[in-house]
Amino acid sequence: MDTAATVREVIESLVPLADADQARQMSAYQRDQFPFLGVPAPRRREAVGKLGGNWSQREALEVAALLWELPEREYKYAAADALLRASRRFDGTAIAPLLALARREPWWDTVDALATVAGTVVRACRASDPSVLQAMDGALVDPSLWVRRIAMIHQRGWRLETDEERLFRYALALAPETDFFIRKAIGWALRDYGRWNPGAVDGFLARHAGRFAPLTVREAGRHLAALLPAG
Residues 202 and 187 both lie in one domain: yes
Residue 116: other Cβ atoms inside 10 A:
17
d(CA 120, CA 88): 8
Cut 0.85: pTM above it: yes
Residues 15 and 30 both lie in one domain: yes
Residues 113 and 149 both lie in one domain: yes
Closest CA to 117 of 148, 159, 83: 83
Taking residues 21-26, report their average pLDDT.
Answer: 98
Q: Is residue 78 part of a domain?
A: yes
d(CA 132, CA 171): 19
pLDDT given for residue 229 in this prediction:
87
Q: Which of 154, 179, 206 is the last residue of a domain?
A: 154
Residue 143: other Cβ atoms inside 10 A:
7
Closest CA to 130 of 169, 177, 166: 166
CB 96 within 8 A of CB 135: yes
Q: What is the pLDDT of residues 102-143, one digit of tens each?
A: 999 999 999 999 999 999 999 999 999 999 999 999 999 999
Cα–Cα distance list, 126 to 98, 161, 163 (Å):
16, 11, 10
Residues 108 and 121 both lie in one domain: yes
Burial class (CB in 10 A: 0-12, 13-18, 19+), 227: middle
- Tally of structural domains, the chain: 3
Range of the domain at 135: 90-154
Q: What's the angle, vertex CA 148, arms to CA 141 and CA 90, rounded to 5?
A: 105
Q: What is the pLDDT of residues 32-82, one digit of tens each?
A: 999 999 999 999 999 998 888 899 999 999 999 999 999 999 999 999 999
Q: Is residue 160 part of a domain?
A: no
Please give the single-letter amino acid code of residue 184: K
Q: Is residue 159 part of a domain?
A: no
Asked if pLDDT for residue 218 goes beyond 70, the answer is: yes
